[in-house]
Structure 1
Amino acid sequence: MTVWLLAALVAILAGVVATLLTPRFAGPTVEAGPHLRAYRHVPIAVLGGMGATHAAASWAETAAFAVLAVSAAFLVVIDLAEYRLPDAIVVPTYPLFFGALTLAAALENDWSRLGRAAAAGGVLLVSYFLLAWINPTGLGLGDVKLAGLLGGFLGWFGWPQVLMGTLAAFALVAAVSLILLALRRVGRKSEIPFGPWMIAGAAVGAAWQPLVLG
Structure 2
Amino acid sequence: MRTTAATGSRWLTSPVHVVLAFVLGGAVALLADGWTELAAFALLALACAILVVIDLAAYRLPDVIVGPMYPIFLGGLAVAALVGGDWGRLGRAVAAGAILAACYFVLAFISPAGLGLGDVKLSGLLGAFLGWLGWPELLLGSTAAFVLSAAFAIALLIARRADRHTAFPFGPWMVLGAVVGAALGPVLAG
Distance in 2, matches of 1:88 and 1:97, equals 15
2:173 is aligned with what amino acid? W
Which of residues 175, 181, 185 is equivalent to 1:209?
185
CA contact under 8 A between 2:9 and 2:57: conserved in structure 1?
no
2:12 is aligned with what amino acid? L
Which of residues 104, 108, 126 is equivalent to 2:80?
104
**Structure 1 residue 34: Cα displacement:** 4.1
CA contact under 8 A between 1:79 and 1:193: conserved in structure 2?
yes
Tell me what 1:141 maps to.
Answer: 117
Task: Compute the TM-score of the two structures, normalised by the length of structure 2.
Answer: 0.96
CA contact under 8 A between 1:45 and 1:73: conserved in structure 2?
yes
Distance in 2, matches of 1:127 and 1:28, equals 27
- Report how many residues are paired: 190
Distance in 1, matches of 2:76 and 2:132, equals 12
Distance in 2, matches of 1:149 and 1:213, equals 22
Query: Runs of 5+ in structure 1 lacking a partner?
Result: 1-24
Distance in 2, matches of 1:149 and 1:191, equals 23
**Are 1:130 and 2:106 matched, yes or no?**
yes
Distance in 2, matches of 1:97 and 1:160, equals 21
Distance in 1, matches of 2:46 and 2:144, equals 21
CA contact under 8 A between 2:5 and 2:58: conserved in structure 1?
no
- SS of 1:124 mapped into structure 2: helix
Alignment of 1:149-188 (within 5 A): 149-188=125-164
Distance in 1, matches of 2:177 and 2:114, equals 17
1:55 is aligned with what amino acid? L
Report the CA distance shift for 1:143/1:112 in structure 2 as closer, same or farther (over 3 A). Answer: same
Distance in 1, matches of 2:115 and 2:178, equals 17
Distance in 2, matches of 1:29 and 1:205, equals 28
Tell me what 1:67 maps to.
Answer: 43
**Are 1:56 and 2:32 matched, yes or no?**
yes
CA contact under 8 A between 2:12 and 2:53: conserved in structure 1?
yes
1:126-164 per-position Cα deviation (integer Å, ceiling 9, x unaligned) = 110011001101000000000000000000011111111
Distance in 2, matches of 1:158 and 1:32, equals 39
**Structure 1 residue 28: Cα displacement:** 9.2
The structure 1 segments of at least 4 consecutive aligned residues displaced by more than 4 Å after TM superposition are none
CA contact under 8 A between 2:54 and 2:60: conserved in structure 1?
yes
Q: Percentage identity across aligned positions?
A: 53
2:117 is aligned with what amino acid? L
| Larger deviation, residues 148-157 vs 182-191 | 182-191
Distance in 1, matches of 2:106 and 2:118, equals 13
Task: Compute the TM-score of the two structures, normalised by the length of structure 1.
Answer: 0.85
Which of residues 45, 60, 66 is equivalent to 2:21?
45
Query: Runs of 5+ in structure 2 lacking a partner?
Result: none
Q: CA RMSD in A?
A: 1.4
1:78-98 per-position Cα deviation (integer Å, ceiling 9, x unaligned) = 111211101111111111111
**Structure 1 residue 209: Cα displacement:** 1.4
| Larger deviation, residues 27-36 vs 69-78 | 27-36
Which of residues 35, 38, 43 is equivalent to 2:11?
35
- SS of 1:27 mapped into structure 2: helix
